[in-house]
Amino acid sequence: MDRSFRAVIWSLNTLVVIIFSILLLDIFWKGLSGINFDFLIHAPENAGRNGGIGPIIASTLLLLCVAVVTTLPLGTACAVWMTDYSKNKSSLAHWTSISLNALAGVPSIVFGLFGNAFFSSFLGLGFSILSGGLTLACMALPLYIQTTAKGLEAVGQDLRKQGAALGMTRLTITWRILLPAAKPAIIGGILLATGRALAETAALVFTSGYSDRWPKSFTDGGRSLSLHIYDVSMNIAGGDQVAYASALTLMTLIVIINAGTIWISESFFKP
């Protein structure tokens, strides 16, 4: 009985490992043959069948840039208020954490709908990197705030009391003591949010648009790497090679970012 149970668990787990390995190796081998320096810096030609993904990478970075620049101040202020300024069991802090949990559960296509209706149409930003980045910021906020709040909580009460004993104002304590002490958590939160934003597609289809030209400004449309993979594999016959190479590029970026997150969180939470 025990032996057959062991066999069942082993074989199911081996099945999982085999399927995932096939998937990863497939992306790796088919992607690797398409990636070279020219591919990474040149513009797509012939609707994406030839050429490279230079403008796509540029648009992706600009999208992330908008998302991070929006998330960082808003999220940090919110996290600081939640951990240090809210009174014990204040109802605002309670509601904010419920609301953030709900926000984290909203499907990305609904963020896309909202971004299209609000940023693109209502605020008149159109299909632009700005509206795409702001939509990504809405999605990244809960993740970033939760990580940063956890980091701020991990900074002991002693430091806060010592600062107060020295006659520092709360703003000085926050700015000079708490935020520097929680820096690894803040960086970790930003990386985590960036990884999530990089993987995002559905929220960008109707906010940042399909344009595959070099972005000239934040009000230009721009296609993210993930959207490029979708477009060339679904809508362009013969685009598979480019899709695989783009997928490998995207996976590599995400792995680097996630490895950074793990490294930072381990060096911070387990000193």
Partner 1 sequence: MRSFSLRRHADELFRQTAQAITILISLAVGFIGLFVLRESLPFLKQMDIGDVFFDSAWFPLEKRFGMAGMLVATVLVSLGATLIAAPLGLASAVFMTFFARRGGIFFMKTLLALMAGTPSVVFGLWGLSVLVPLLGETYPPGASVLTAIIVLSLMLLPTVALTSYTALKSLPNALHQASHALGLSRVRHVCSVAIPGARTGILSGLILSLARALGETMAVLMVAGNVPALPTSLFDPARVLTANIALEMGYATGTHRASLFASGLLIVSLVLGISLMAGKTGKGSQL
- Rounded to whole angstroms, the Cα distance separating 183 from 251 reads 26
Question: Closer to partner 1 at the Cβ: 64 or 138?
Answer: 138
DSSP string, 114-143: HHIIIIIIIS---SSHHHHHHHHHHHHHHH
CB of 227 to partner 1, least distance (A): 8
Extract the runs of DSSP E, i.e. beta strands, from 44-198. Answer: 44-45, 50-51
CB of 223 to partner 1, least distance (A): 12
Given candidates 34, 163, 195, 222, which one binds partner 1 under the rule CB under 8 A? 195
Regarding 181 and contact with partner 1 (CB under 8 A), the answer is no
Question: Closer to partner 1 at the Cβ: 13 or 267?
Answer: 13
Nearest 5°: CA angle at 26, between 10 and 62? 115
Regarding 206 and contact with partner 1 (CB under 8 A), the answer is yes
N-terminal to C-terminal alpha carbon distance within the chain: 44
Read off the DSSP letter of residue 204: T
CB of 170 to partner 1, least distance (A): 6
Question: Closer to partner 1 at the Cβ: 107 or 217?
Answer: 107
Site for partner 1, residues 21 to 50, rule: CB under 8 A: 21, 23-24, 26-27
Question: Closer to partner 1 at the Cβ: 62 or 248?
Answer: 248
Which three-class secondary structure state does DSSP give residue 153? helix
Question: Closer to partner 1 at the Cβ: 103 or 177?
Answer: 103
Which residues face 51 on adjacent strands?
44
Only one of the segments 155-163, 177-185, 212-220, 222-230 lies at the binding site for partner 1 (rule: CB under 8 A); that segment is 222-230
